[in-house]
Amino acid sequence: MMQDFVNTRKTWDEKRYHSVDYDLKHTYGEKVYKITLSGGMTCPNRDGTLGTGGCIFCSAGGSGDFAGDASLSISGQLAAGKQALRKKRPVRLFIAYFQAFTNTYAPVDVLEQLYMEAAADPDVVALSIATRPDCLGEDVLDLLERVGKIKPVWIELGLQTMHQETAAWIRRGYTLSVFEEAVSRLRARNITVIVHVILALPGESREMMLATLDYLNRQDIQGIKLQLLHVLSGTDLADIYEAHPFWIPSQEEYVTLLGDCIAGLRPDITIHRLTGDGPSDLLIAPRWSANKRSVLNALHKYLKAADIWQGKALQNNEEAYYERDTYPI
């Protein structure tokens, strides 16, 4: 089985990992682009339900600094996004990405109007909805299942870390058991689950970061976003960094860390992100991360030189390596 995978992993692409670009091209025959949307929602970590300051790293845009204009309808935001993308390249297909704040945190009739409007767009092939695992009531899950019968639905959950001490420090506001229950309930409805992880959170060692990846290898998830911690102006994290600067990896250190993460990640898990490009006018550190293309080029060069591919570190542990029954390759 192992040799079969080593041979077929080359069908992903030359990047040596299972990228979302590969999956989308394999499914739709061409590149698919995301259009970031705002549903005009807030978050229980901001409106007083759990807290008022949000997560410690969260900017005023609620991780949706690149999202669409909430004053426009979803159709209007999609139209504006299409126009902007088509100025640069010929594009036919899109993912409607509800990005800003917590995108299941509204009455279900409001959510239904937003999601159905996006699903009705003939150029939209899937909906990706960023939310919290503690904002997925039964009525919302039922709605997601209904929408999923029209267009594929991906739910993005912001776990960030498996370590409770770090989770408390960043003010995440829920426990691992809440996350696990949400994953179980989503998968019972055949909804794709993508998990956000932040690397280089203060106080976390390399071993702790890899432990989060190992934890996720044992969960029924289909995708992951790996994000370097960004210090953005106007956040509580920025105030802490200014008063007591903490370690932030150099580009070389981050690329090496990503190599370890990729090698230790279950090979059927689709990688949706490996770096980030926070708003340049807000980004305090690391400034090198603003050049996303440079980071990815350095990573691809490193993976090839070090002969790293997704799941390599698991190859002597077939129980972990073949955790799931089937693989998309």
Residue 279 pLDDT class (50, 70, 90 cuts): confident
Q: Are 213 and 165 in contact (CB under 8 A)?
A: no
Which residue has tokens 């709605």? 143
Decide if 83 is inside a domain: yes
Residue 327 lies in a domain: no
**pLDDT tens readout for residues 64-113:** 456 788 899 999 999 999 999 999 999 999 999 999 899 999 999 999 99
| 137 vs 70, higher pLDDT | 137
H or E, element range at 210: helix 206-217
Residue 54 in domain: yes
State both tokens at 134.
Answer: 């503690």
DSSP SS3 for 257: helix
pLDDT digits (tens, 9 = 90+) for 220-231: 999 999 999 999
**Arithmetic mean of pLDDT over the chain:** 91
With H, G, I as helix, E, B as strand and everything else as coil, classify residue 36: strand
Rounded to an integer, what distance in angstroms lies between the CA atom of residue 25 and that of residue 19?
Answer: 10
Looking up tokens 């693989």, which residue turns up? Answer: 327
Which residues does 241 contact at the CB level (< 8 Å), separation at least 6?
231, 284, 285
Report how far residue 131's alpha carbon sits from residue 286's, in angstroms, rounded to the nearest whole number. Answer: 26
User: Cβ distance 64 to 282 under 8 Å?
Assistant: no
With contact defined as beta carbons under 8 Å apart, do 222 and 271 qualify? no
**Residue 326, in any domain of the structure:** no
Instruction: Give CA angle at 229 (226, 234), nearest 5°.
Output: 135
For the chain, the straight-line distance linking the first and the last C-alpha, in angstroms and rounded, comes to 13
Categorize the per-residue pLDDT at 52 as very low, low, confident or very high, splitting at 50, 70 and 90: confident
Q: Is residue 225 domain-resident?
A: yes
| Residue 231 tokens, joined | 């210090």
Longest dimension (CA), the chain: 53
Residue written as token pair 């990573």: 299
Residue pLDDT, tens place only, 163-215: 999 999 999 999 999 999 999 999 999 999 999 999 999 999 999 999 999 99
3-state secondary structure 108-161: HHHHHHHHHHHHCCCCEEEEEEEECCCCCCHHHHHHHHHHHCCCCEEEEEEEEC
206 within some domain: yes
Q: Give, in degrees to the nearest 5, the angle at Cα 271 between 267 and 273.
A: 155
**Domain annotation covers residue 328:** no
16 Cβ neighbours under 8 A, 6+ residues apart = 9, 262, 300, 303, 304, 308, 309, 310
The CATH number that applies at residue 117 is: 3.80.30.30
* Contact (CB, 8 A) for 81 and 36: yes
In a domain? residue 73: yes
pTM of the shown model: 0.92
Give the chain's domain count.
Answer: 1
What amino acid occupies position 116?
Answer: M
Full domain range(s) for residue 292: 2-321
The DSSP-derived string for 87-114 is TTS----EEEEE-SS-TT-S-HHHHHHH
